[in-house]
Amino acid sequence: MHHPGQIDELTDVLPCVNNIPIILPINTPHNTPMTRTWKDVERLTVKEALKEAEELREEINFHNYRYYTLDSPVISDAGFDRLMLRLEEIEERFPGLVTPDSPTQRVGAKPLPEFGTIKHTLPMLSLDNAFSEEEAREFDRRIKRFLKTAQEFEYVAEPKIDGLAVELVYENGAFKSGSTRGDGYTGEDITQNLRTVKSVPLRLLSRGKEKAIIPRRLEVRGEVYLPKEGFRKINAEREKKGEPLFSNPRNAAAGSLRQLDPRITASRPLDIFCYGVGRVDGIQFSTHMEMLEYLKKAGIKVNPLIDVVDTIEGAIKYHKKIEGLREKLGYKLDGVVLKVNNLALQEKLGMRTRNPKWALAFKFEPEQETTVVKGIEVGVGRTGALTPVALLEPVTVGGVTIERATLHNQDDIDRKDVRIGDTVIVERAGDVIPEVFCVVKDRRRGTEKPFTMPAVCPECGSKVEKTGAIHFCTGGLSCPAQLMETISHFSSRRAMDIEGLGEKHVEQFVKDGLIKDVADIYYLKKDDIVKLERWAEKSADNLIESIEKSKTPTLERLIYSLGIRGVGEHMAGVLAREFKSLSPFMKPGMEANMEAKEEELMAVHGIGPETARSIVDFFSEPQNVKVIEKLRKAGVGFPGKKAGQGVLDGKTFLFTGALRTFSREEAKRLVEEKGGIAAPAVSKNVDYVVAGESPGSKYDKAKALGLKIISEEEFRKMVQG
Ligand code: IVH
């Protein structure tokens, strides 16, 4: 598909974009391609074909411009595809009519044996750098000294795009050739590849009241770049195929543009921003900004953040503003470029050998730095996930000193081949946690040590198991790193439902050493609680009472509250129904019998291998079993579920819509207490759907499945037996 963004309705009022009035070509958009009929290609005369092909090209170019340059299409994808198809059809029937600037020529050109070279008419210079405000002010003072004036003058301030500099040559409005910067004097001929960049117009626009003058020759300079999103996608694909990753969007853009096979270039979502000209025949500009406005009018893509500032202080403000925007933009910047706006002044200032004296690259803080991995430490998160963290030789990145960087997981370490002692590139983007980006392999001395995850949890000594790419500690009930998370989950409404035990309290009890594992909740004493800050007789009484009240959970709630990885409410229900009590899991010798147990679990409908594994791991961890025993000793009921126990025994209920006399939670609890199951979603296993007021989509699905639907009243009667 050509246009990802879909426009279904065409509007008559077209906006001005970048102050360019939009003038429509003859056929657009009122004569939409979706309703237009075309003569059979076989019956076209050459003259008719020529005329139609020219019109189609103009129309397609216009839509490409709207879409790729202005980001504001006025045609649907399908409409656009129809235009392209028609043009391809004509060109196929009349190959003599194909022109090199036809939009059909953007893709599919043959691979080149090697690049030719192109000499730049005027050298492509580079820029002097400044890394601080003071250096930027010094640049301004230097200019004033040179001009022997104290008077202020305007700068054009532009984002400095992190990509690859190119030159595009247009002759009589048609894209003729394009090249890389090369050594500044001669570059590589990458014409075919640049044709595939959708925002490079193959024809300059010259339409409307304010007709852009089309010079005999126009050399445009700009930066080709790969948007961040495209970069991520390409690297994700390369990773899948096991190909080496691009280290940053700039390398990816350069690699894509310097492909000998333009079809590969065409598959990469490259883009361009133009910021200058080389030789221009027949147009005079008096300021840099005037020239940029002209480029926009001619349909060339210019960065919308470019602005004119009155003084160097204005430029410094601009630098700050753009640095603040940096994270939000879809492309990478490495600074701003300041250019004296007045071209006569530029002329006066002239050049040094490689840099113009009238321009400056005012850099941002770099986001990447090189440093050494001194060691690798393993952290345990609240969920029990083990994360390897590189301990670094301290280094400043983006103005912040970093000493640690995440390595994500073992798979990532293996893929990047990070070893202790390695020299690495670390990256920090905005507030994101710094990460080890890649290893500088040239710096290896052979003494670096590979790393593997520990077999036991560094926090609690429980066994470590790998699920997907992540290593997890299996000691969920006792691991101190997971304690906060475990307790929050354990006491939550849908689990043991301990009212009044909020996160803040848990934090307090843990900090004070009153709670070291979940079972300790049931050993809390009023006397200990009232001694703590912000507690009084009454509140302590209330808490002790709600802890007492939570001692008689249903089996599903008890299983759910243990926080076994992969065992949510639904799975807890499945296990409760199938095994009827916790005892089958608590048998001594579970460890010796792991495989058999796993198989037994997998035989139950709805339990996959990963969940089976995780359940067996959980119960074979002695630390967990100890805590479960401790719970039992504290008087927590371990319900056994026998057939024929409750009036709703074995029946599955689903609730939809608002109930009048119960809260959803109450209703579910009631079902469970009476031996039934509260289903989380519609499925054919549901026996009764209880429909409250204004039921939602679950109701329609239940109806479609032909499930039995009952009212709240009927449900009440069933519960009451
Ligand atoms: S002007 C004589 N403007 O930065 C002026 N360059 O370090 C020459 N760049 O080779 C360049 N954005 O690849 C200019 N808005 C911008 C730019 C820009 C990125 C790159 C360009 C150039 C390099 C110079």
pLDDT digits (tens, 9 = 90+) for 425-463: 898 765 567 889 888 888 889 999 999 999 999 988 999
- Tokens for 195? 């044709």
At residue 210, what is the residue type? E
pLDDT at 118: 93
Strand 368-380 with 652-656, pairing: unpaired
107 falls in which pLDDT band (50, 70, 90)?
low
Q: 373: number of CA atoms within 13 Å, CB side?
A: 34
Residues with a catalytic annotation lie at: 160
Q: What's 332-367 look like in SS3?
A: CEEEEEEEECEHHHHHHHCECCCCECCEEEEECCCC
11 falls in which pLDDT band (50, 70, 90)?
very low
Pocket of ligand 1 contains residue 380 by CB under 6 Å: no
Which parts of 15-121 are beta strand (E)? 117-119
Pocket of ligand 1 contains residue 356 by CB under 6 Å: yes
Task: Report how far ligand 1's centroid is from the alpha carbon of 351 (Å).
Answer: 15
Q: What are phi and psi of 162, to 5 degrees?
A: -90, 90
Residue scoring higher pLDDT (268 or 639): 268
Alpha-carbon distances of 493 from 488, 542, 546, rounded to whole Å: 10, 16, 12
**Secondary structure of residue 33 in the 3-state scheme:** coil
Q: Spell out the domains of the chain, with CATH numbers in brackets.
A: 13-104 (1.10.287.610), 128-363 (3.30.470.30), 371-443 (2.40.50.140), 477-639 (1.10.150.20), 652-719 (3.40.50.10190)
Task: Report how far ligand 1's centroid is from the alpha carbon of 158 (Å).
Answer: 9
**Secondary structure of residue 5 in the 3-state scheme:** coil
**Secondary structure of residue 224 in the 3-state scheme:** strand
| Mean pLDDT for the stretch of residues 83-93 | 90
Per DSSP, what are the bridge partners of residue 14? none
Q: What are phi and psi of 580, to 5 degrees?
A: 65, -15
Task: Report how far ligand 1's centroid is from the alpha carbon of 128 (Å).
Answer: 10
Which parts of 123-163 are beta strand (E)? 129-130, 155-161
Residue from 646, 665, 664 nearest 720 by CA: 646
663 falls in which pLDDT band (50, 70, 90)?
confident
7 falls in which pLDDT band (50, 70, 90)?
very low
Transcribe 422-439 into DSSP letters: -EEEEE--TTSPPEEEEE
Distance CA 179, CA 192 (A): 10
Pocket of ligand 1 contains residue 223 by CB under 6 Å: yes
By the 8 A CB rule, do 390 and 438 touch?
Answer: no
**Secondary structure of residue 523 in the 3-state scheme:** helix
Q: What are phi and psi of 229, to 5 degrees?
A: -65, -45
Strand 359-363 with 129-130, pairing: parallel
> In which residue are the tokens 């043959």 written?
110
Highest mean pLDDT among 22-26, 344-348, 701-705: 344-348
Candidate from 139, 161, 336 with most ligand 1 atoms within 8 A of CB, to mutate:
161
Per-residue DSSP letter, 283: -
* Residues in the chain, overall count: 721
At residue 574, what is the residue type? V
**Secondary structure of residue 151 in the 3-state scheme:** coil
Distance CA 567, CA 27 (A): 61
Q: What are phi and psi of 77, to 5 degrees?
A: -55, -45
- The sign of the dihedral angle between the CA atoms of 470, 471, 475, 479 is negative
| Mean pLDDT for the stretch of residues 188-196 | 93
91: Cα separation from own chain's centroid: 41
Helix (H) or strand (E) holding 629: helix 622-633
Pocket of ligand 1 contains residue 571 by CB under 6 Å: no
Closest residue to atom 13 of ligand 1, CA basis: 165
Please state the atom number of ligand 1 nearest to the C-alpha of residue 334. Answer: 19
Closest residue to atom 21 of ligand 1, CA basis: 165
pLDDT at 640: 63
Task: Report how far ligand 1's centroid is from the alpha carbon of 221 (Å).
Answer: 9
| Mean pLDDT for the stretch of residues 685-701 | 88
Q: What are phi and psi of 390, to 5 degrees?
A: -80, 130
Per-residue DSSP letter, 68: I
Task: Outline where 301-456 has alpha helix (H).
Answer: 312-325, 343-349, 410-416
589 falls in which pLDDT band (50, 70, 90)?
low
Distance CA 430, CA 716 (A): 56
Residue from 233, 226, 236 nearest 258 by CA: 226
Residue 323 exposed, middle or buried by CB count within 10 Å (0-12, 13-18, 19+): middle
Distance CA 67, CA 503 (A): 51
Pocket of ligand 1 contains residue 307 by CB under 6 Å: no
Per-residue pLDDT tens for 243-294? Answer: 767 767 888 898 898 888 888 888 899 999 999 999 999 899 999 999 999 9
Pocket of ligand 1 contains residue 127 by CB under 6 Å: yes
